[in-house]
């Protein structure tokens, strides 16, 4: 089996570092750090103990999952 069959999602998707992801989401780098630690943030890729990357598609998905229509909208159906 070739490598392309194992991880097809990474074939053509740009990986953003924490600063780029924060800029894309218009949040602070600290916000992303806290969300990685506490949970509830966008999916990320840990390439090493000191290297975290975000796929642009995962950031877009995370935004879509947090769309609300009012302040009372909890996101649950």
Residue 32 has a pLDDT of 97
Cα 30 to Cα 23, 37, 38, 69: the distances in Å are 12, 11, 12, 27
In a domain, 4, yes or no: no
Provide the pLDDT confidence category of residue 4 given band limits of 50, 70 and 90.
very low
Asked if residues 54 and 62 have their Cβ atoms less than 8 Å apart, the reply is: no
Query: What domain range includes position 42?
Result: 13-65
Number of domains in the chain: 1
Query: pLDDT tens for residues 11-56?
Result: 567 899 999 999 999 999 999 999 999 999 999 999 998 999 999 9
In a domain, 70, yes or no: no
In a domain, 74, yes or no: no
In a domain, 54, yes or no: yes
In a domain, 42, yes or no: yes
């Amino acid at each position: 089996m070739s490598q392309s069959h194992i991880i097809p999602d990474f074939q053509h998707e740009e990986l953003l570092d924490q600063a780029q992801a924060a800029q894309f989401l218009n949040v602070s780098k600290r916000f992303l750090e806290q969300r990685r630690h506490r949970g509830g943030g966008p999916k990320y890729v840990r390439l090493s103990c000191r290297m975290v990357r975000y796929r642009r598609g995962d950031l877009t998905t995370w935004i879509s999952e947090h769309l609300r229509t009012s302040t009372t909208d909890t996101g649950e159906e």
